[in-house]
Amino acid sequence: MSEPIKVFCDTDIGDDDALGIAMLLRAPNIEVVGFSTVAGNTTVENATCNLLTLLNVADRQIPVTIGSARPLIVAPSHQGAAIHGPDGFWNCQQPHDLTAIPRDAPKAIADAARANPGMTLLALGPLTNVAHAIQQYPELLATINIVALVGGKRGNITPLAEFNAWFDPDAVNIVLRFGVNLTIITLDAWSPITVDPTALTEQLHQSTDPLAHFLVSPLCGYAAAQTMFGGHVITIPDALAAAYIIDPSISTLQPALVKVSPDTGGITRGLIVIGITPGEKIAMIGSDDELSDIVDHMYGDPNFNLYAAMASILGREPDNARVILSMRQTALDEAITRLCRPE
């Protein structure tokens, strides 16, 4: 048996997060070394109670640290309640006394990185805690793998922006500028992969694992919210993120230059731009004046080296992430089956 993958999970745990975390807790090749919570789908207090509820049902004792209650700059949004219910768990949350829970998420992430060299930091929610950790402990964060469920070439909270990026775009900017060992699971990858909620809940209900059985109620609320205006299938992005951690072969990584819109108050808030090809990256880096000058030299200077000019532009901003733009269609079904029928 190979050594298990060490995972620290930062989460704004709502219903789909809970399914993903359950998959990680039951995966034989994963060792979850810690959790931190963050505002996003719900308040950070709700997220913490939801996580403690899930760990109680799973009969697991794993360190939990409370993290950021609001984004770095923009005001916190309450829109997550529309999908995840008033407590982020469709009223399945158990009460917990949070007074003794530590509240320094960046330190918890850094301590875990120190104790588990090469671990994976899985960010299922907004990147606020991750950004704080990078700012405070850059040397330690450079030694781990960061996998973030954020962004895409289109949006779900707005036509342009994915929810986690929109909730705290300033945090996304810090993480992208850090650009070390970063993998981004985009909306483009998970949104085409859907599941029939009736089949999902029946499969969970029939499981002998109390953790799988517990997930039925919150996921029923989650499914009802997603299908409120029509449709018969739902997406479960956080579960796919967990499936990727368990089995990276379900997707293909592409090196990319990734940027987030600096507009935090307007229509492009949270807009992620992903450059894959050299042409896309050059357009993201070079100014119009610079690129126009290159075109002028192409036609006016027979000795002009176009490739050297392009390489010079690309060299100024190297790739800062590996992006996942597609996943295997059967990945979610396989991951749910593994949870419901553990080996």
pLDDT in tens, the chain (343 residues): 689 999 999 999 999 999 999 999 999 999 999 999 999 999 999 999 999 999 999 999 999 999 999 999 999 999 999 999 999 999 999 999 999 999 999 999 999 999 999 999 999 999 999 999 999 999 999 999 999 999 999 999 999 999 999 999 999 999 999 989 999 999 999 999 999 999 999 999 999 999 999 999 999 999 999 999 888 999 999 999 999 999 999 999 999 999 999 888 889 999 999 999 999 999 999 999 999 999 999 998 999 999 999 999 999 999 999 999 999 988 888 889 989 876 5
Sheet holding 145-149, edge to edge: 64-66, 30-37, 5-11, 120-123, 145-149, 182-185, 321-327, 251-260, 272-275
Residue 64 has phi, psi (to 5 degrees) of -125, 135
Structure-token pair, residue 251: 């997707």
Going along the chain from its start, the domains and CATH numbers come out as: 5-270+319-340 (3.90.245.10), 284-316 (no CATH)
Structure-token pair, residue 264: 């935090």
* E runs forming strands in the chain: 5-11, 30-37, 64-66, 120-123, 145-149, 182-185, 251-260, 272-275, 321-327
Structure-token pair, residue 281: 């990256």
Residue type, 145: N
Q: How far, in Å, CA of 197 to CA of 201, rounded?
A: 6
Q: Report pTM.
A: 0.96
Q: How far, in Å, CA of 109 to CA of 35, rounded?
A: 8
Structure-token pair, residue 206: 């029939």
| Contacts of the segment 190-194: beta carbons below 8 A, 24+ positions apart | 190/149, 190/235, 190/237, 190/240, 190/241, 190/327, 191/152, 191/156, 191/235, 191/237, 192/326, 192/329, 193/235, 193/240, 193/327, 193/329, 193/331, 193/332, 194/233, 194/234, 194/235
Give the three-class secondary structure for 19: helix
Do residues 219 and 172 touch, judged by C-beta distance below 8 A?
no
Q: Hey, CA dihedral for 332, 337, 338, 340, is it positive or negative?
A: positive
Separation of first and last alpha carbons in the chain: 15
Residue 146 has phi, psi (to 5 degrees) of -110, 125
Structure-token pair, residue 5: 């993958």
Predicted local confidence at residue 1, as pLDDT: 60
Predicted local confidence at residue 263, as pLDDT: 83
Predicted local confidence at residue 229, as pLDDT: 85
Give the three-class secondary structure for 83: helix
Enumerate residues 6+ apart whose C-beta is below 8 A from 340: 203, 204, 206, 207, 209, 212
User: Up-side HSE of residue 280: CA atoms within 13 Å toward CB?
Assistant: 12
The CA-atom distances, in angstroms, between 143 and each of 6, 127, 148, 182 are: 13, 18, 16, 11
| Matching residue, tokens 């997406």 | 235
Q: How far, in Å, CA of 260 to CA of 179, rounded?
A: 13
